[in-house]
């Protein structure tokens, strides 16, 4: 990828805005048009591949592209439709997978040089389900190495740029997935989320991202991070797309209807989590929270305050727990001598905790237990929890001269500062809640996307999608 020079930032960012056409349409609409014969699958796939050719190298969202395979599959789907066969609910829809998801005959590199070139023998179950539903796989999306990061800054293949501002982080670790959807390179993506790795990049890139209830979507065929926290979920342009993807990925067709016919909203109570909505958040983020509350009131939803006293301690507990939990997963990669600095640092920290950190681990687990109880109590007083997805908009990865910032030093100085901004998202992973990030407009401070996070009781994925769909339909992102 050629670096974009400072004088070109504005021109380049404007060029990344896709023209109206297949690359801007929702996945649900693309599938309807292809199914009706108004667009061919080859039209849709070809448009996305041309978009990749136009801006893919600038954004660097994809680390592998299978143009030939995608066009061959599109031609097959068109032939199937002409023969009278149904293509499925995602017929002709182009998607990408995060680089830690298995696709048969492809290397699951996970953003690392330490993968030893081993190719996957079979598709991950979620990939199989999307293909069976008629979707077309375009390629693999960039990510932080072995999911160790929140900006794609640690990827062995170089960082991804945010389509809204090329100086900024797209989030992580599913940053390539979010950027690909936001820039029109793919209609949707499969991501993984251990502490916010779907929702945080969704927030920073202005798309929808969901970490579903643990166990709803199979995690088999993905590279593990911390197995009791890992989830697989969708990133998409709209809530209806997200619902349809989740329905296919989970084998629960009923979930698709949640976003199409939201009902019973006036019976909902939404709890605004006091500790996650205070001064830790940038003013522009809080401004969009105020707008969200106003839209909820217009919808007739009761908004109440709730408390989560250990919310501010969640990130520290998460870092301790996951650093210890990831040691078995990271060890084979570290042994190759090809793993990056952050992977080695996290592995050594985790090994130290496993050997000598009994007190720290016990303290972290106490925080986790407290959070489980506090979220249970909060959800006894309301149906859905609301907070910003993250306390900031997308932080800058590059300075005004185009040089990469020393993110590692900044994170070590204060992990609550950008770009390690998973401080609110980790709570859902620690407590087992489904959680969704919804575009909530742009910050009045810097014009960058802001996401609002909806979290609910385990199994209440449909309620989150219904509320998100109502907020989207009422124009939250445009207010």
135-176 per-position pLDDT tens digit: 999 999 999 999 999 999 999 999 999 999 999 999 999 999
Residue 155 covered by a domain: yes
Residue 67 covered by a domain: yes
How many Cβ atoms are within 10 Å of 65's Cβ, its own excluded?
17
Which of 392, 439, 454 is CA-nearest to residue 211? Answer: 454
- Sheet with 435-442, edge to edge strand ranges: 62-65, 136-141, 94-98, 188-193, 231-236, 208-211, 435-442, 449-456, 384-388, 269-273, 302-306
Q: What is the pTM of this model?
A: 0.94
Alpha-carbon gap, residue 402 to 379, rounded angstroms: 45
17-51 per-position pLDDT tens digit: 777 899 999 999 999 999 999 999 999 999 999 99
CATH number of the domain within which 34 lies: 3.90.1300.10
Residue 284 covered by a domain: yes
Residue 304 covered by a domain: yes
Domain total of the chain: 1
Buried-exposed string 444-478: b where 16+ CB fall within 10 A, e elsewhere: eebebbbbbbbbbbeebbbbbbbbbbbbbeeebbe
Assigned token pair, 421: 């901004």
Residue 1 covered by a domain: no
Beta-ladder partners of 210: 436
Q: What is the residue range of 44's domain? A: 6-478
Asked if 166 contacts 197 with a C-beta cutoff of 8 angstroms, the reply is no
Residue 176 covered by a domain: yes
Please state the φ and ψ torsions of residue 231, each to the nearest 5 degrees.
-140, 155
Q: Which residues are catalytic?
A: 98, 173, 197
Residue-level pLDDT at 416? 45
Alpha-carbon gap, residue 339 to 111, rounded angstroms: 10
Residue 37 covered by a domain: yes
Which of 478, 475, 426 is CA-nearest to residue 211? Answer: 426
Residue 376 covered by a domain: yes
Q: pLDDT in tens for each of the 479 residues of the chain?
A: 233 333 344 445 545 677 789 999 999 999 999 999 999 999 999 999 999 999 999 999 999 999 999 999 999 999 999 999 999 999 999 999 999 999 999 999 999 999 878 899 999 999 999 999 999 999 999 999 999 999 999 999 999 999 999 999 999 999 999 999 999 999 999 999 999 999 999 999 999 999 999 999 999 999 999 999 999 999 999 999 999 999 999 999 999 998 877 666 778 899 999 999 998 899 999 999 999 999 999 999 999 999 999 999 999 999 999 999 999 999 999 999 999 999 999 999 999 999 999 999 999 999 999 999 999 999 999 999 999 999 999 998 887 767 776 655 655 555 444 445 789 999 999 999 999 999 999 999 999 999 999 999 999 999 999 999 999 999 999 99
């Amino acid at each position: 990828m050629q670096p974009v020079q400072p004088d070109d930032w504005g021109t380049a960012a404007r060029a990344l805005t896709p023209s109206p056409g297949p690359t801007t349409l929702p996945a649900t609409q693309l599938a309807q048009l292809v199914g009706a014969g108004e667009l061919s699958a080859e039209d849709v796939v070809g448009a996305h591949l041309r978009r990749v050719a136009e801006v893919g190298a600038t954004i660097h969202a994809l680390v592998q592209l299978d143009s030939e395979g995608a066009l061959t599959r599109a031609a097959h789907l068109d032939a199937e439709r002409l023969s009278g066969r149904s293509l499925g609910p995602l017929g002709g829809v182009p998607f990408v997978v995060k680089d830690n998801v298995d696709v048969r005959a492809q290397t699951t590199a996970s953003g690392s040089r330490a993968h030893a070139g081993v190719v996957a023998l079979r598709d991950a179950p979620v990939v199989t389900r999307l293909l069976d539903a008629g979707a077309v796989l375009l390629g693999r999306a960039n990510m932080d190495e072995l999911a160790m990061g929140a900006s794609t800054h640690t990827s062995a293949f170089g960082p991804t740029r945010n389509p809204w501002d090329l100086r900024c982080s797209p989030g992580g670790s599913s940053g390539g997935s979010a950027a690909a959807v936001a820039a029109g390179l793919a209609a949707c993506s499969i991501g993984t989320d251990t502490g916010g790795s779907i929702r945080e990049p969704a927030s920073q890139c202005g798309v929808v991202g969901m970490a579903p209830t643990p166990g709803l979507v199979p995690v088999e065929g993905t590279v593990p991070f911390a197995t009791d926290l890992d989830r697989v979920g969708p990133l998409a342009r709209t809530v209806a797309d997200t619902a349809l993807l989740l329905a296919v990925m989970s084998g629960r067709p009923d979930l698709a209807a949640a976003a199409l016919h939201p009902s019973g909203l006036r019976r909902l109570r939404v709890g605004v989590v006091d500790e996650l909505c205070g001064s830790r958040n940038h003013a522009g983020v809080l401004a969009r929270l105020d707008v969200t509350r106003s839209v909820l009131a217009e919808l007739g939803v009761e908004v109440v305050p709730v408390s989560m006293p250990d919310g501010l301690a969640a990130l520290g507990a998460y870092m301790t727990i996951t650093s210890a939990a990831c040691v078995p997963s990271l060890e084979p990669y570290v042994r190759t001598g090809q793993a990056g600095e952050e992977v080695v640092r996290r592995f050594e920290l985790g090994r130290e905790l496993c050997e000598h950190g009994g007190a720290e681990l016990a303290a972290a687990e106490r925080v986790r237990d407290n959070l489980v109880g506090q979220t249970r109590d909060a959800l006894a007083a309301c149906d859905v929890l609301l907070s910003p997805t993250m306390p900031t908009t997308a932080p800058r990865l590059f300075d005004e001269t185009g040089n990469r910032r020393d993110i590692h030093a900044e994170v070590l100085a204060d992990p609550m500062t950008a770009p390690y901004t998973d401080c609110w998202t980790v709570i859902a992973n620690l407590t087992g809640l489904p959680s969704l990030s919804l575009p909530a407009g742009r910050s009045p401070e810097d014009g960058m996307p802001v996401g609002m996070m909806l979290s609910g009781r385990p199994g209440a994925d449909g309620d989150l999608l219904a509320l998100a769909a109502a907020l989207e339909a009422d124009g939250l992102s445009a207010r």
